[in-house]
Structure 1
């Protein structure tokens, strides 16, 4: 079980803070993928990739229409060096730690990278 605070009952902003802290501490981030690649979500005219700080939270999303998806761990280095530029190039956002009752913060990948790098020091 993860050492993160229970993120199901906190605000999207608190989940964002906890996810960034976890990414820096654990040096990883979790996504969902299927045979076509990473799962995408659409929120208020924004398309993006949902991310989670740990495997358990990602698995909570892998139900119903997403039940065929597998969780996938991405190293923080790969996220910063490959995923961030790719998301920026494709004009995609990052949906940070959506939970079943609420979508996560929707932020630009470069803003997420800035927050990560600021915390890494």
Structure 2
């Protein structure tokens, strides 16, 4: 279940630190919420952080949509079910050597983590 964010909610979440944005996304996944990434005609979008390929993920479609411009103007947000994320995406990304850029903002790349580390965060209480 998702809801539309108000402009105030968007700004409040955007203003959180990278670590706080990471924790927020983990809480949503633990609650069974979908997360969002971007897809183009060539597939799921990757970004680079310190030379490492990363899959950017966001907690709400509005944040993914905010990145649909410039080089990513042809992209569309895609929802990833929490169960599919944990059972298929994280192991697949780990096997492919792709890290995660968690909830990047326009000013900050966000927390960059290995898929196994996110899986550990998801299983923590």
- With normalisation by structure 1, the TM-score equals 0.90
RMSD between superposed Cα atoms in Å:
1.6
- Could you say which residue in structure 2 is the equivalent of 1:102? 108
- Could you say which residue in structure 2 is the equivalent of 1:23? 29
Q: Return 5+ residue gaps in structure 1 as ranges.
A: none
- Could you say which residue in structure 2 is the equivalent of 1:2? 5
Distance 1:36 1:67 in 2: 13
Aligned 8 A contact 2:32 2:83 in 1: no
User: Which of 60, 63, 66 is the matching residue for 1:57?
Assistant: 63
Distance 1:35 1:28 in 2: 22
Aligned 8 A contact 1:51 1:58 in 2: yes
- Could you say which residue in structure 1 is the equivalent of 2:48? 42
Secondary structure of residue in 2 paired with 1:61: coil
Q: Return 5+ residue gaps in structure 2 as ranges.
A: none
- With normalisation by structure 2, the TM-score equals 0.88
- Could you say which residue in structure 1 is the equivalent of 2:119? 113
Q: Cα distance, 1:2 vs. partner?
A: 3.1
Q: Cα distance, 1:27 vs. partner?
A: 2.5
Distance 1:15 1:8 in 2: 8
